[in-house]
Structure 1
Amino acid sequence: MGDKAHTHPGAAGRAVAADRPASLRNVVLVGHSGSGKTTLVEALALTAGAVNRAGRVEDGGCVSDYDAIEHRQQRSVQLSLVPVEWEGVKINLLDTPGYADFVGELRAGLRAADAALFVVSAADGVDGSTRMVWEECAAVGMPRALVVTHLESARADFEEMTRMCAEAFGADDPDAVLPLYLPLRAPEGSDGHAAVTGLVGLLTRKVFDYSTGAREESEPAAGQLPGMEEARNRLIEGIIAESEDETLMDRYLAGEQVDLDTLVKDLERAVARGSFFPVLAAAPAAEGAKQGIGTVELLDLVVRGFPTPPERQTPAVTTLDGRTRELEPCDPDGPLVAEVVKTSSDPYVGRVSLVRVFSGTLRPDDTVHVSGHGLADRGPEDRTLHEADERVGALSTPFGKQQRPVTHAVAGDLVSVAKLTRAETGDTLSAKDDPLLMAPWRMPDPLLPVAIRAHSKADEDKLSQGLARLVAEDPTMRLEQNQDTHQVVLWCLGEAHADVALERLRGRYGVQVDVVAHRVALRETFAGRSAGRGRHVKQSGGHGQYAICEIEVEPLPGGSGIEFVDKVVGGAVPRQFIPSVEKGVRAQAAKGVAAGHPLIDVRVTLLDGKAHSVDSSDAAFQTAGALALREAAADARIHLLEPVAEVSVLLSDDYVGAVMSDLSGRRGRVLGTEQAGGGRTLVRAEVPEIELGRYAVDLRSLSHGTARFDRRYARHEPMPPQVAERIRQQEREAP
């Protein structure tokens, strides 16, 4: 595919534009952290002429310009777009973070793309999280190809890596994961390692040598033919098996030679429809070279094999009242439908939204309708619709830290939009007079709580605004103002995710915060029956206060709340003051009776009391009710109740034993397991929430990144005495 010479004038110094959806390709790069995605993007930009040999664009800036956080963490933490041009086609390369904490950026890249390029390191192999993303792509039929990197590593073996990829990604059909090229190596050096100098094209039987700094085509040497022919025959059989011509396999097996053009066209169609997954190789360019090894072949595959935006189905679109709206796929003249896939803040420009246009054409100064599902609110039942009209600011195409102005963006393209102050990640942009809404893409639930507080009074004034901007940019982060514990809690995907969030608060919004211990919402209840007498009698020369009441308290089953019963006889407590007693009891229950946690699941029975014809009042009986409840608690054993969550863990069968053992160590009760298919098991358990604080981090470590879990509040139940005592001690020592 694309085995020919290439010369390109380059696209550096100008914006890459596209006026037709058919001249666009949107490709997301997927792979674990350190697999070489960003390096590959830089190599592709170099080959396409978008940057010079130093990786810099002609008018300044670098294709891989990181923000300060990425420099410190030595890894990508956000989605980045690099547009390049090849053979008259604009290719939007979406580089995604490989670390699990930033899977939200990956999901955004998958939403914006029409095909995926899986980058696999020959030194590290295929990890579990990459397999999971492959399965997600397979579920929606996204076309995919694989690139093997780090072939310069001493232990790199392209053939073995290809076999591993076929095992990992070709479960249904291993012959659908096959190489198009084989790496060409120089003679072994003194260290026993042979550097990659070029590629051998299996379909064309041509050698593409990069060793001189330029891509040179030649015939293979005699020693290269045996291995090449075996791999070539398997490739041809794999392509023919995917051919729409059902007679082609029979003719091939009968000895008929299939011409190259037929094979290439069948290959391109199979790749575009997501039924064949070619494997390519990439290696660093030789010193002074203008092209990275394998980059020409990869760009050719993207242009000729990956689908155009009109060939991919548009996500579901509805009107704001929920009626389905049918749209022509990727029609530049159709109604405007675009989606914000990423939101960031620029210190000079303000908020910048990366937008994928699915229908219509977006232009500067248009007034658009912004509508969304409330992704920042998170929560399955709390996706309230929000909407506003906004004027579109300047349009630009990003390149490193630069923003190059463009006049418009047609359906299928990606563009940066300035100053959409009301738009959040996941929101839909549509015409003001024809508002529409796209179905949101699935985001993982943040399950790691990080409690924070402002470092100073000045920070406290800026905290709410900074947090609002933070969650608007990142829909995988949830903000909670916990009414029970009075804590501000950021729910994150992991520790690195939390670190980046706090760094952005400090760096972008100038808010210093302190991380404090996260507290769960505990409750109290009575362990047995108890009685109490509340006496509130005061006389200070004038109008006094007089109220006496006697109550009995007994525990109720979980979930019963506070039940108040009136059993007063003979008018000992006047009827108008009985609600006052109840109000006082409930107010005291909300404050707690032992450790300051709300009291629940008890029945309070008012038995008797006394009143004064002049000095009794509503306030006096409220106070007496509260005093009676406190006295009853002083003579009773009080249980500390902790919230218990229903936890479901989906994981590989290999880690079931370790995960179940870990759940037991967290005082969890395993309710059962069931097979989930694909070598995975679903484990259901009930676990105290106090034991789940770091479970998102620990589970990832236990399962090597292959497991995920969700949690749902089940109930409050008594805490074991030794644990309750430890919690009370911690609360006494807390500042």
Structure 2
Amino acid sequence: MNSNNTLRNLRNIGVIAHVDAGKTTTTERILFYTGENHRIGDVNDGNTAMDFDPQERARGITIHSVATTVHWQGTQINLIDTPGHIDFNLEVRRSLRVLDGAVVVFDGVAGVEPQTETNWRLADEYRVPRLAFVNKLDRTGADFHRVVASLEDRLGVRALPLQLPIGAEAEFRGVVDLLTMQALVWDRDDAKVPPRVAAIPPELLPAAQAARARLLEAAAELDDALLDAWLRGAELPVDALRAALRRGTIAGAFVPVLAGSAFRNRGVEPLLDAVVAYLPAPGEAPGAAASEGPLSALAFKLTADDHGAMVFVRVYSGTLKRGDTVFNASTGKPERVARLYEIHADRRVERDALVAGDIAGVVGLKDVLTGHTLAATKDAPVLESIAVPAAVIDVAIEPRQQADAAALAKGLGVLVREDPSLRLRQDADSGQTLLSGMGELQLEVAVEKLRSRFGVDVAVGRPQVAYRETITAPAEVRHVHRKQSGGPGQFAELTLRIAPLPRGEGFRFSNTVVGGAIPREFIPAVEAGLRQAAQAGPFAGHPLVDFEAVLVDGSAHVRDSSALAFELAAAHALREAALKAAPAVLEPVMAVEVVTPAESVGDVIGDLLRRRGQVQGQDARGNAVVVTAHVPLARMFGYIGQLRALSSGRAQFTMQLSHYAEAPATSATLAA
């Protein structure tokens, strides 16, 4: 992989979607058509290659992002299948961070769904070019054109169909290729039978000509020669069109849209063609790092098994060889590379070296975490890390047998290292160990892993809302920490000023001490003390967030001052100041989307209002109505049962964190 020609023959892509859009089914077909698998796995049968974890097969959902390597038309495709459920959104986030392109799968009936929109915004954040694949067009109520319109309306993109479906719902049997103006028809659902090339059905010809005109216009806008030919009415070469569409896709000028039904083996081969034709090779994506120069690689995922830990990395420049000693630029510590593996779902193929563009597994790294940078030198630039979503639900967890306490601690340590969106903390009042996560399903999965992987039988408390504390006014305190009990004493004096920050800003520290009143070596200890104290706020013991702390002044003793003394002083000062700064409890507010039959809309909205919900709007989706609302998480426990009762079992809902907001006084009292 040292030549640019080789880089052009590599694609690093992810497959992302809302849960149940057919993402894993699409990936399984890709494995079959590329020859990686010789049989097609089925989600319902629990025998998929990508969802190989026992919990994934039992639940019928993707929990972990899984990498594999396939080949199509002489191009190597490193593919990552990502989860669709919001509780496992970190898996999508860290995959998009290292990918060059993505295929976004849409349900042909539902169109743009909440998690699709969330993942789309993440792809925007990481500037990842995308293809859209409208799936399940064989289902009752599927509408390709409605989905295309929803892409433009809800995602704010220019959706550019490269195909039009032939037939609708149960009669969906093929697509019109708008570049070649030919029909591809699948006469049978047999994956081993390629599509038949045919003339466009006469009834579709006017629509195909109009759609092709829009496609030609989009391509011509990006190429002066094509524009001139188009204005003259000349025929545009297909290869030149593809090259222009590739440039537009990579630049984000538009999103190509393809059609199909992965379950019925229709439309997957053209999708693979589009991946090769339109998604970028390493180095081509917007903002891509240069591939020349010394080693630079990002660790984006960790897994642990009986053989030790494997770190998944994306190499951005240089070469990583088996046996190399490299540096973790995020910590400055050396690390030794024991083995390198190309990943094929649950299989591994050993490699001697990785080069720019490679995504692979590394064994032997001891202290590397998600988001760390591997480099040739310890002072090398650190790559942009991976943001971790906020935890919103806590459960208390303890071993049923005290003899399992050590095994539980080890298991929790492994899970938190693998998944940074899981958090561990001790309750200040009860001393219980609290495991926090993004949702009930994520915590259920974590608990099951403790039982199955680590053999620990655990007792788990009821899920509770992960409240936060904040301050609503500024405050300033002077605190003196003095302790003398024989031998060296402890002395630290400091003046601390705190003030509220906007929601979501977290914690910010600054030092304005002048003249060396506090020796420079003690300043980090002050910040450490503040961070430690913020883990349990003074009002109700919840983490203290969204505030800034300024070290204004202080003094030190030549013999009795120490880093520990200033750390303790800072912690006490923050607690004093926070109690003076009008503390408040924050609660997580969820963005809720309910899809319900029209006759149940009134009951659904009334129930959401009783839950302190604020209805944001309602829209038609096929023969159903979509109600969107912001509802406090504390009022959403057990909601699915009530929703089924209100709709005779026909409604469904999804939710994800929207924001934290100040809780009413009654909630704050309960939280305390």
Q: TM-score with structure 2 length normalisation?
A: 0.69
**Could you tell me which residue of structure 2 aligns to residue 208 of structure 1?**
184
Mark the CA change 1:128 to 1:520 in structure 2 (over 3 Å): closer, same or farther.
closer
Equivalent position amino acid for 1:705 in 2? M
Q: What secondary structure is seen at the aligned counterpart in 1 of 2:171?
A: coil
**Could you tell me which residue of structure 2 aligns to residue 645 of structure 1?**
585
Contact 1:369/1:389 (<8 A) preserved: yes
Equivalent position amino acid for 2:21 in 1? S
Q: 1:486 aligns with which of 415, 425, 431?
A: 431
**Could you tell me which residue of structure 2 aligns to residue 76 of structure 1?**
62
Equivalent position amino acid for 2:271 in 1? L
Mark the CA change 1:238 to 1:463 in structure 2 (over 3 Å): closer, same or farther.
same
**Could you tell me which residue of structure 1 aligns to residue 249 of structure 2?**
271
- Quote how far apart the aligned CAs of 1:660 are: 13
| Cα separation, 1, equivalents of 2:4 and 2:305 | 25
Equivalent position amino acid for 1:50 in 2? E
**Could you tell me which residue of structure 2 aligns to residue 705 of structure 1?**
655
Q: 1:343 aligns with which of 280, 284, 302?
A: 302
Q: CA RMSD in A?
A: 4.3
Q: 1:360 aligns with which of 294, 309, 318?
A: 318
| Cα separation, 2, equivalents of 1:48 and 1:437 | 36
| Cα separation, 2, equivalents of 1:718 and 1:233 | 58
1:294 aligns with 2:280: no
| Cα separation, 1, equivalents of 2:423 and 2:91 | 15
- Quote how far apart the aligned CAs of 1:23 are: 2.5
Equivalent position amino acid for 1:405 in 2? E
Mark the CA change 1:367 to 1:558 in structure 2 (over 3 Å): closer, same or farther.
closer
Mark the CA change 1:719 to 1:80 in structure 2 (over 3 Å): closer, same or farther.
closer
| Cα separation, 2, equivalents of 1:162 and 1:301 | 17
**Could you tell me which residue of structure 2 aligns to residue 48 of structure 1?**
34
**Could you tell me which residue of structure 1 aligns to residue 410 of structure 2?**
465
Larger Rg: 1
| Cα separation, 1, equivalents of 2:638 and 2:89 | 14
Equivalent position amino acid for 1:215 in 2? P
| Cα separation, 1, equivalents of 2:465 and 2:13 | 43
Q: What secondary structure is seen at the aligned counterpart in 2 of 1:193?
A: helix
Equivalent position amino acid for 2:269 in 1? V
- Quote how far apart the aligned CAs of 1:448 are: 0.8
| Cα separation, 1, equivalents of 2:24 and 2:10 | 21
Contact 2:397/2:435 (<8 A) preserved: yes
Mark the CA change 1:20 to 1:659 in structure 2 (over 3 Å): closer, same or farther.
farther
Identity %: 31
- Structure 1 regions of 5+ residues with no counterpart? 1-16, 287-291, 316-327, 373-385, 523-556, 565-596, 599-641, 674-680, 686-690, 728-735
- Quote how far apart the aligned CAs of 1:370 are: 2.7
Mark the CA change 1:659 to 1:129 in structure 2 (over 3 Å): closer, same or farther.
farther
Contact 1:448/1:695 (<8 A) preserved: no
**Could you tell me which residue of structure 1 aligns to residue 442 of structure 2?**
497
| Cα separation, 2, equivalents of 1:442 and 1:654 | 28
Task: Spell out, residue by residue over 1:648-697, the C-alpha distance to the aligned partner (whole angstroms, 9 max, x if none).
Answer: 85859999x9999979967x9x9xx9xxxxxxx999x9xxxxx9657699
Shifted more, 433-442 versus 148-157: the winner is 433-442
- Quote how far apart the aligned CAs of 1:270 are: 0.4
**Could you tell me which residue of structure 2 aligns to residue 239 of structure 1?**
219
Equivalent position amino acid for 1:329 in 2? A
In the TM superposition, 1:144-543 aligns within 5 A as: 144-169=130-155, 171=156, 176-185=158-167, 193-196=170-173, 198-211=174-187, 213-241=193-221, 243-245=222-224, 249=227, 252-253=230-231, 255-284=233-262, 292-312=265-285, 329-331=290-292, 334-347=293-306, 349-372=307-330, 386=331, 388-432=333-377, 435-517=380-462
Equivalent position amino acid for 2:160 in 1? L
- Quote how far apart the aligned CAs of 1:559 are: 9.0
In the TM superposition, 1:103-122 aligns within 5 A as: 103-122=89-108
Q: How many residues align?
A: 530
Contact 2:186/2:196 (<8 A) preserved: yes
Equivalent position amino acid for 1:208 in 2? L
Equivalent position amino acid for 2:131 in 1? A
Mark the CA change 1:157 to 1:442 in structure 2 (over 3 Å): closer, same or farther.
same
- Quote how far apart the aligned CAs of 1:421 are: 3.2
Contact 1:649/1:682 (<8 A) preserved: no
**Could you tell me which residue of structure 2 aligns to residue 93 of structure 1?**
79
Contact 1:65/1:401 (<8 A) preserved: no
Q: What secondary structure is seen at the aligned counterpart in 1 of 2:39?
A: coil
Mark the CA change 1:650 to 1:266 in structure 2 (over 3 Å): closer, same or farther.
farther
| Cα separation, 2, equivalents of 1:371 and 1:647 | 37
Q: What secondary structure is seen at the aligned counterpart in 2 of 1:480?
A: strand
- Quote how far apart the aligned CAs of 1:482 are: 2.6
Q: What secondary structure is seen at the aligned counterpart in 1 of 2:301?
A: strand
**Could you tell me which residue of structure 2 aligns to residue 32 of structure 1?**
18
Contact 1:82/1:92 (<8 A) preserved: yes
**Could you tell me which residue of structure 1 aligns to residue 509 of structure 2?**
none
Equivalent position amino acid for 1:237 in 2? E
Mark the CA change 1:662 to 1:92 in structure 2 (over 3 Å): closer, same or farther.
same
Contact 1:449/1:693 (<8 A) preserved: no
| Cα separation, 2, equivalents of 1:451 and 1:518 | 8
Contact 2:466/2:588 (<8 A) preserved: no
Q: TM-score with structure 1 length normalisation?
A: 0.64
- Quote how far apart the aligned CAs of 1:309 are: 1.2
Equivalent position amino acid for 2:153 in 1? E
Contact 1:125/1:161 (<8 A) preserved: yes
- Structure 2 regions of 5+ residues with no counterpart? 468-472, 481-539, 542-581, 596-601, 617-627, 644-651
- Quote how far apart the aligned CAs of 1:204 are: 0.8
Task: Spell out, residue by residue over 1:187-232, the C-alpha distance to the aligned partner (whole angstroms, 9 max, x if none).
Answer: x9xxx93142x32211211122332612333333444423321222
1:132 aligns with 2:112: no
| Cα separation, 2, equivalents of 1:201 and 1:418 | 45
Equivalent position amino acid for 2:198 in 1? S
